[in-house]
């Protein structure tokens, strides 16, 4: 009988202890506060903390002198009750400081799921008091979907898509990667109506929310269009020499080239004809030109969207004669003027000296000096 009473007494005490523990934890919750109860703290009752994703968040809370217990809650879930950890998350811990009676909640490598309200509840000698901290987790912008590279025909309507996540919600902008890199607007969609060949190239989507560097991705847009012959180089050539005709085009995809002389299609290796094609350019070379090579040549460029052609005349060039001009050996006195007359007189003077008499010399000197 005594043993029975002892067991019942032990069970009663055990139940009382369990009830006391549950009641003490319950009284740490804000919902257990009596109506009209003051919740004054020596620090703000509500605080906001902004942390970037991946960083460590420190939610500050301090125990008052004489306080026996503290607790941290996330919404209605208990994280810590005193030093007892209720959460199974290894990233959370309590930062304590005996001198300052600190009771702060540390969350390492915060994620978007940690965003929300947290409550620090302190049980003092007189009444429970609470402080709320709203944790906001900022997330860098991330583009998770963008249009695939595409090939379209000129004149088609094109719509590009770019989707991004982040907190705050990122803004999306577009630009065409060209020498001017002109901005094209903002928003998830970029619409291009009746696209032209000048609008081909890379389009850049940028997502930005000031948390970190923008996230940037590109989409390639190839615009197919029919050939246009930009230039066919005129040329002239002499008999026996080599002539060259160059045909420059713009087209997408690259064209197939054909050459004609008059109505006759030319082939590579035909009567001194050599044809070489380089994407958008074709070069026709005529070796050892004869009379039959002169005439009208036509370049034709063809792709799946159209055809273009241009013609020119291969002319004969007559080179100038290389023989030396015949010159007369007779002296010309017309170009000399006064200088020529003086030379003639001195020649006569020399002749007279060979025959000379002193009188003749004096006479000639007088004639010269007049």
Each residue of 61-88: pLDDT tens digit? 888 765 568 899 998 889 999 889 999 9
Asked if residue 351 has pLDDT above 60, the reply is no
pTM for the full predicted model:
0.65
Asked if residue 306 has pLDDT above 90, the reply is yes
Asked if residue 275 has pLDDT above 90, the reply is yes
- Summarize pLDDT for 107-118 with one digit per residue, the tens: 999 999 999 999
Write out the residue range of the structural domain in which residue 48 sits: 43-139
The DSSP bridge pattern shows strands 306-316 and 236-237 to be: parallel
Asked if residue 126 has pLDDT above 50, the reply is yes
Do 240 and 308 share a structural domain?
A: yes
Q: Domain for residue 47, yes or no?
A: yes
SS3 370: coil
Cα distance between residue 316 and residue 313, in whole Å: 10
- Out of 206, 225, 244, a domain closes at 225
φ, ψ of residue 114 in degrees (nearest 5):
-85, -10
Q: In the prediction, which pLDDT does 105 show?
A: 93
Q: How many residues does the chain have?
A: 370
State the Cα torsion 209-213-215-221 to the nearest 10°. Answer: 110
Do 134 and 47 share a structural domain?
A: yes
Q: In the prediction, which pLDDT does 348 show?
A: 43
Torsion-angle region of residue 246: left (phi > 0), alpha (psi -120 to 50) or beta?
Answer: beta
Q: Domain for residue 30, yes or no?
A: no
- The CATH number given to whatever domain includes residue 174 is 2.60.40.10
Q: Domain for residue 369, yes or no?
A: no
Which tokens go with 51? 């942390």
Do 132 and 166 share a structural domain?
A: no
Do 153 and 132 share a structural domain?
A: no
Q: What total number of domains does the chain contain?
A: 3
Q: In the prediction, which pLDDT does 330 show?
A: 42
Q: Domain for residue 112, yes or no?
A: yes
Do 243 and 218 share a structural domain?
A: no
Q: Domain for residue 16, yes or no?
A: no
């Amino acid at each position: 009988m005594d043993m029975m009473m002892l067991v019942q007494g032990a069970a009663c005490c055990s139940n009382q202890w369990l009830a006391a523990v549950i009641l003490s934890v319950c009284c740490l919750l804000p919902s257990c506060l009596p109506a009209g109860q003051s919740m004054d703290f020596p620090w703000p009752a509500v605080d906001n903390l902004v942390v970037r994703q991946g960083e460590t968040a420190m939610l500050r809370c301090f125990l008052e002198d004489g306080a026996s217990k503290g607790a941290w809650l996330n919404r209605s879930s208990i994280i810590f009750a005193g030093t007892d950890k209720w959460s199974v998350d290894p990233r959370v811990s309590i930062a304590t400081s005996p001198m300052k009676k600190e009771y702060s909640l540390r969350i390492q490598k915060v994620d978007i799921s940690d965003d929300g309200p947290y409550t620090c509840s302190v049980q003092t000698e007189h009444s429970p008091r609470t402080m709320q901290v709203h944790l906001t987790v900022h997330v860098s912008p991330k583009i998770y979907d963008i249009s695939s590279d595409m090939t379209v025909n000129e004149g088609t309507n094109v719509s590009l898509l770019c989707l991004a996540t982040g907190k705050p919600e990122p803004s999306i902008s577009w630009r065409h990667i060209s020498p001017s890199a002109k901005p094209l607007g903002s928003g998830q969609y970029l619409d291009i109506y009746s696209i032209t060949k000048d609008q081909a190239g890379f389009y850049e989507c940028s997502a930005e929310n000031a948390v970190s560097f923008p996230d940037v991705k590109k989409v390639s847009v190839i615009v197919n269009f029919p050939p246009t012959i930009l230039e066919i180089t005129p040329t002239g050539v002499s008999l026996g020499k080599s002539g060259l005709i160059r045909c420059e085009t713009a087209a997408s995809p690259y064209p197939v080239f054909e050459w004609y002389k008059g109505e006759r299609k030319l082939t590579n290796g035909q009567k001194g004809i050599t044809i070489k094609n380089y994407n958008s350019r074709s070069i026709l070379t005529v070796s050892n030109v004869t009379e039959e090579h002169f005439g009208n040549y036509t370049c034709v460029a063809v792709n799946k969207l159209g055809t273009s052609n241009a013609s020119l005349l291969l002319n004969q060039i007559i080179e100038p004669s290389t023989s030396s001009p015949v010159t007369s050996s007779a002296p010309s006195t017309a170009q000399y003027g006064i200088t020529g007359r003086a030379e003639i007189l001195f020649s006569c003077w020399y002749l007279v000296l060979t025959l000379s008499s002193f009188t003749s010399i004096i006479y000639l000197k007088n004639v010269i000096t007049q």
